[in-house]
């Protein structure tokens, strides 16, 4: 629910793109799988097969990023913040800072990703037909063909895998895109988001159990597909758990509906003025409060960054009286650790900054620091009443 840590790769339209460590494992598997496929198409050219596998895997994951960007950009246009996009073992996820507010928003956000994937699959298929007219179909079915060109082989894989991704994502199991479409329809029909989420989650858990059962059957049948069976069962387990987690998250969001950051923050935080000399900062702040860091503000109270005891003590003692806090403070990624004090509390649920630092700086529209909200404060607010 809170979102895990990931390694940032880059930003697109200001949206952070990161990868979970499990993504590297899947990247290895895809490259290994595709290497075997390209060796069949280009026998005796192992180096070429490996390079094509690497290119195909990276372009495929770029397709996943585009899919999630489709969700993210439509969400942003609907006034919903995006905490980031993360790639992980089972694909990608666009982490929205708050839930959709209407069935129409839910439908538009849900369908945006599959539409992007459909366009990618169609473009790859069309380009493949131009590159290898008459021979592309067999390659698209991942069958051996000595007449397929290098570009055609790569395009065939991308067309096939994106079409497979499209079909899987449109299955009516929450939190897959098809499940979110189902939730939007149910929400529109019954007028209650929580009930719609409950029914959509039941679909997701049911689909997950079916995948687990099929995966186990594939594993034990006479012509056993060991890897495929285990992978299918793992996907089913992930889907059933994700459906349960999304339903619980929806309940929690309903529980804190109407609460703002200002309602739970510490409105009297201890801050370090930027002009404070390091010797006074160490004596009056770090040694007095025993905290590892403090937020730094300018003369107008605007949040600038963080000062840590480690960096302050790294300055030679003889130079501390002539060095100000703003000369050693950390400012990179400071924006990740701030939140508007009037933001809904659910906007913090996907905050990676809150996980990393344990707190966020609550600021007003002018950037003035008005309070600090900690992970413990958020967890206390999230405690649902006993049922």
Provide the residue range defining the domain that includes 346: 261-382
CA atoms of 375 and 123, how far apart (whole Å): 45
Domain end (from 221, 255, 289): 255
Residue 323 resides in a domain: yes
Q: Which residues pair with 8 in a beta bridge?
A: 18
Distance of CA 334 to the CA centre of its chain: 20
The answer to whether residue 143 scores a pLDDT higher than 60 is no
- The pLDDT tens digits of the residues spanning 93-106 come to 888 877 788 999 99
Residue 229 resides in a domain: yes
**272 and 146 part of one domain:** no
**243 and 313 part of one domain:** no
Domain end (from 255, 281, 311): 255
For residues 218 and 236, the answer to whether their CB atoms sit within 8 Å is no
**307 and 209 part of one domain:** no
Question: Please, what is the average pLDDT of the chain?
Answer: 84
Residue 1 resides in a domain: no
Region of poorest pLDDT, from 125-129, 167-171, 195-199, 383-387:
383-387
* pLDDT at site 223: 67
- The pLDDT tens digits of the residues spanning 283-299 come to 999 999 999 999 999 99
**224 and 366 part of one domain:** no
Residue 219 resides in a domain: yes
The answer to whether residue 169 scores a pLDDT higher than 80 is yes
Q: Residue 85, SS3?
A: strand
Token pair belonging to 286: 């770090």
**300 and 315 part of one domain:** yes
Token pair belonging to 248: 């619980």
CA atoms of 60 and 65, how far apart (whole Å): 9
312 membership: H or E segment, kind and range: helix 309-314
Region of poorest pLDDT, from 12-21, 181-190, 197-206, 271-280:
12-21
For residues 372 and 361, the answer to whether their CB atoms sit within 8 Å is yes
Distance of CA 93 to the CA centre of its chain: 4
* pLDDT at site 172: 87
CA atoms of 15 and 97, how far apart (whole Å): 12
- The pLDDT tens digits of the residues spanning 11-58 come to 888 888 888 888 888 889 889 888 888 888 888 888 998 999 999 999
**184 and 288 part of one domain:** no
Residue 324 resides in a domain: yes
* pLDDT at site 63: 93
Which residue in 59, 187, 168, 186 sits closest to 123, CA to CA?
Answer: 59
Q: How many domains does the chain have?
A: 2
**301 and 203 part of one domain:** no
For residues 216 and 240, the answer to whether their CB atoms sit within 8 Å is no
């Amino acid at each position: 629910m809170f979102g895990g840590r990931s390694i940032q790769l880059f930003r697109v339209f200001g949206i952070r793109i990161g990868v979970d460590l499990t993504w590297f494992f899947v990247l290895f598997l895809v490259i290994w799988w595709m290497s075997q496929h390209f060796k069949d198409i280009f026998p005796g050219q192992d180096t070429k097969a490996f390079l094509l596998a690497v290119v195909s895997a990276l372009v495929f994951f770029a397709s996943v990023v585009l899919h999630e960007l489709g969700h993210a950009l439509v969400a942003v246009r609907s006034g919903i913040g995006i905490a980031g996009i993360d790639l992980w073992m089972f694909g990608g996820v666009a982490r929205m800072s708050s839930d959709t507010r209407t069935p129409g928003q839910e439908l538009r956000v849900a369908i945006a990703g599959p539409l992007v994937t459909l366009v990618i699959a169609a473009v790859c298929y069309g380009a493949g037909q131009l590159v290898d007219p008459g021979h592309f179909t067999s390659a698209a079915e991942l069958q051996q063909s000595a007449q397929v060109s290098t570009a055609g082989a790569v395009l065939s894989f991308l067309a096939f895998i994106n079409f497979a991704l499209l079909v899987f994502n449109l299955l009516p199991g929450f939190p897959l895109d098809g499940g979110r479409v189902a939730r939007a329809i149910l929400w529109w029909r019954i007028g209650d988001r929580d009930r719609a989420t409950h029914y959509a989650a039941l679909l997701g858990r049911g689909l997950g159990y079916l995948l687990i059962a099929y995966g186990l059957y594939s594993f034990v049948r006479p012509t056993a597909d060991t890897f495929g069976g285990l992978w299918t069962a793992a996907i089913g387990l992930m889907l059933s758990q994700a459906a349960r987690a999304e339903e619980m998250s929806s309940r929690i969001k309903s529980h804190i509906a109407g609460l703002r950051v200002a309602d739970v923050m510490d409105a009297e935080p201890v801050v370090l003025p930027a002009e404070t000399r390091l010797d006074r900062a160490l004596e009056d702040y770090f040694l007095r409060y025993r905290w590892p860091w403090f937020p730094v503000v300018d003369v107008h109270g605007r949040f600038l960054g963080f000062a840590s005891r480690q960096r302050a003590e790294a300055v030679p003692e003889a130079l501390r009286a002539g060095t100000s806090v703003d000369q050693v403070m950390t400012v990179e990624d400071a924006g990740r650790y701030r939140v508007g004090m009037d933001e809904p509390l659910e906007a913090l649920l996907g905050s990676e900054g809150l996980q990393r630092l344990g707190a966020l700086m609550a600021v007003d529209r002018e950037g003035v620091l008005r309070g600090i909200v900690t992970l413990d404060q958020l967890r206390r607010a999230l405690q649902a009443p006993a049922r």
